Amino acid sequence: MRTSRISGLLLSAVAFSAPGFAQETADAVAPEGASEGQVQALTEEVIASLEAKAAGVPIESENWMVAAANPLAVEAGAKVLRAGGSAADAMVAVQVVLGLVEPQSSGLGGGAFLIWYDAVSGQLITLDGRETAPLAATPTLFQDENGEPLKFFDAVVGGLSVGTPGTPALLEEAHRRWGRSPWPGLFTDGIRLADEGFLVSPRLASLVENDAERLSRFPVTAEYFLPGGAPLQQGHRLMNPDYAETLRVLAADGAAGFYGGEIASGIVSTVRTAPDNPGVLSGTDLALYQVIEREPVCAAYRAYEVCGMGPPSSGALTVGQILGMLSTYDLSGMGPESVEAWRLIGEASRLAFADRGRYMADSDFVPMPTTGLVDPDYLSERAVLLNAEAALTEVAPGNPEFDHASNWADDVSLELPSTSHISIVDGYGNVLSMTTTIENGFGSRLMTSGFLLNNELTDFSFKTHQGGVPIANRLEPGKRPRSSMSPTIVMQDGAPVLAIGSPGGSRIIGYVAKSIIAWADWGMDVQQAVSLPHLVNRFGTYDVELETVAEGYADALIGIGFEVNPRDLTSGLHAIEIGENLSGGADPRREGIALGE
Ligand code: GLY
């Protein structure tokens, strides 16, 4: 039984959600800034949900719930659920609207991972809709003529970084397996909003402004985001007839209309003729794309099984490692204000990230110790390293049980924050948690048929080897880049109790792990857990969330040997707790809401 620990840290989380608080200037390193204000014509239920979020109170419902990053997308999903649709149906409606109103984060030109709890069979299923490297891509794609890694944004912007999109195939596959509503109707709101226009949100406007130079490099992209040469302004009614047409094709022909025909040839020619930085994606790559069903990865934590997406995502393994190592420590007794609790969380995270950098990649291409990495005995062994009083001076990968010889060098890929998360529970008891992305904010900045193309290939390591030793996450033709996306369903006694996930690059892992700890150990409700200020450690430096009480931990953390970096930490957590009723929380750092009935 969870007991509630309302703390000073939490009270600051509630203050965090006050309108206008903690506005960040989005920059090249954090292209997904925080949100300020709302200008969309809002319905009463949306206003109520935004007010609840600002007050730090979860949304409660009896039958169904949807939480995602934009009110228009959430409303589209709510409409489907209200009409008796399944969580898979609602997800399709949410995703096609997100691709319009939050185009910088996810869309048809990107990829996604989904975990599904099936109420009839009681099973968890994960679907991998990750982008693939083109068959013509070589491992040195992101190296210059001297074999040196390209600068990150030189690789990102243009055709070189574009992987084969997976999201349209994932939407179709989820609907084929679990849909109850006719497919074409799921596109109605997306088509209407694209035809009639939607009001540009403050968040989108500020992100366009901050990225104006890169968006201006390609005429089609510039015309849409910088009409007449000036960045879109908040409140501007933006129409996207090309996107409406693309949705009509998808509604009529399914994913085949995307992976073949004019949309596909538009993608290929946009990538291959991108000025300065053309890519190698081909019609064959698109025609061959497949969604893959994979075994969920689950790790025990307290009374729960925390389940999510295995390779090529590092999400569930790294979240599972962090929680598994912390299992032997009494975080509940310490509480969220304890520096010792944050020392343990930060160090567990560093150890998990060391394993992530060494071992995690697309296991269809490289052997991986997937089971060994979350084996409770291995994690107990690793947890002994946490038994210290100061920050560890050295953190190295461990030796999980592995039935294969391996000799990998540590990965050197950079993953910046972007992406979007959708959590849905339907009226039949099915649960969906899906994280969806085009990678960097605005992806490759290339646009075709009304949507942006991803830059997912830059999630691969730019180097193939270190000191002659191969890197597991090196680029290979057909391979899927390692991800940090962590769509999660927490189970208790065989039943789902929490759906959660977040954007945020490789910090996704820390955001999700911290929120699960806040909920499971500190008794916070879902809104409190997602609002709780962030303290995140991946590679040694402790990131503490700027202008929140998390900053107040800096001196104590420095005192025990950590480097500390106060900074904006723009997660986008969306969570639903499943108990007698449903309880939804949306991240105050972005524009999303939860709706339910
Ligand atoms: N590109 C973000 C991720 O896959 O983690």
Of 355, 313, 367, the C-alpha closest to 539 is: 355
What is the reported pLDDT for 418?
A: 74
pTM (2 decimals)? 0.93
Q: How far is the CA of 275 from the centre of ligand 1 (A)?
A: 25
Q: How far is the CA of 505 from the centre of ligand 1 (A)?
A: 5
The CA–CA distances, whole Å, from 24 to 33, 271, 585, 588 equal 6, 32, 22, 13
Residue 184, classed as helix, strand or coil, is: helix
Residue 149 DSSP class: B
Residue 304, classed as helix, strand or coil, is: strand
* Ligand 1 atom at minimal distance to the Cα of residue 440: 1
Both tokens assigned to 202: 């403050």
Residue to mutate, 485, 486, 509, 570, ligand 1, most ligand atoms under 8 Å from C-beta? 485
Of 74, 194, 176, 86, the C-alpha closest to 129 is: 176
- For residue 562, give the amino acid letter: F
Query: What do you get for the CA distance between the two ends of the chain, in Å?
Result: 26
Residue 170, classed as helix, strand or coil, is: helix
Take atom 1 of ligand 1 and give the residue whose Cα is closest.
439
Chain Cα centroid distance, residue 455 = 14
Of 386, 346, 334, the C-alpha closest to 538 is: 346
Residue 27 DSSP class: B
Q: How far is the CA of 456 from the centre of ligand 1 (A)?
A: 7
CB 583 within 8 A of CB 500: no
Q: How far is the CA of 3 from the centre of ligand 1 (A)?
A: 34
Instruction: Quote the CA–CA distance of 482 and 432 in Å, as a whole number.
Output: 22
419 is known as an active-site residue: yes
Chain Cα centroid distance, residue 412 = 20
Residue 118 class from Cβ within 10 Å (0-12 exposed, 13-18 middle, 19+ buried)?
middle
Both tokens assigned to 261: 């025909």
Number of residues written out for the chain: 597
pLDDT in tens, the chain (597 residues): 344 443 444 434 433 332 222 222 222 233 355 555 544 568 999 999 999 999 999 999 999 999 999 999 999 999 999 999 999 999 999 999 999 999 999 999 999 999 999 999 999 999 999 999 999 999 999 999 999 999 999 999 999 999 999 999 999 999 999 999 999 999 999 999 999 999 999 999 999 999 999 999 999 999 999 999 999 999 999 999 999 999 999 999 999 999 999 999 999 999 999 998 999 999 999 999 999 999 999 999 999 999 999 999 999 999 999 999 999 999 999 999 999 999 999 999 999 999 999 999 999 999 999 999 999 999 999 999 999 999 999 999 999 987 776 667 777 666 555 799 999 999 999 999 999 999 999 999 999 999 999 999 999 999 999 888 999 999 999 999 999 999 999 999 999 999 999 999 999 999 999 999 999 999 999 999 999 999 999 999 999 999 999 999 999 999 999 999 999 999 999 999 999 999 999 999 999 999 999
Both tokens assigned to 280: 């190698």
* Ligand 1 atom at minimal distance to the Cα of residue 439: 1
Both tokens assigned to 37: 């204000």
Which is the catalytic residue, given 221, 419, 458, 570? 419
CB 94 within 8 A of CB 68: yes
Of 518, 419, 572, the C-alpha closest to 67 is: 572
Ligand 1 close to Cβ of residue 89 (< 6 A): no
Ligand 1 close to Cβ of residue 483 (< 6 A): yes
What is the reported pLDDT for 165?
A: 98
In the block, residue with structure tokens 């009935």: 597
Q: What does DSSP say about strands 124-129 and 292-294: parallel, antiparallel, or unpaired?
A: antiparallel
Paired with 471 in beta bridges are 409
Chain Cα centroid distance, residue 472 = 22
b/e sequence 551-586, b meaning 16+ C-beta within 10 Å: bebbeebeeeebebebbbbbbbbbbbbbeeebbbbb
Instruction: Quote the CA–CA distance of 249 and 411 in Å, as a whole number.
Output: 40
Ligand 1 close to Cβ of residue 128 (< 6 A): no
Ligand 1 close to Cβ of residue 455 (< 6 A): no
Residue 563, classed as helix, strand or coil, is: strand
Residue range 1-69+113-125+292-395+421-437+483-597 in CATH 1.10.246.130: yes
Residue to mutate, 508, 509, 571, ligand 1, most ligand atoms under 8 Å from C-beta? 508
Longest dimension (CA), the chain: 62
Ligand 1 close to Cβ of residue 285 (< 6 A): no
CB 265 within 8 A of CB 225: no
Residue to mutate, 456, 461, 507, ligand 1, most ligand atoms under 8 Å from C-beta? 456
Taking the alpha carbons of 328, 333, 336, 340 in that order, is the dihedral positive or negative? negative
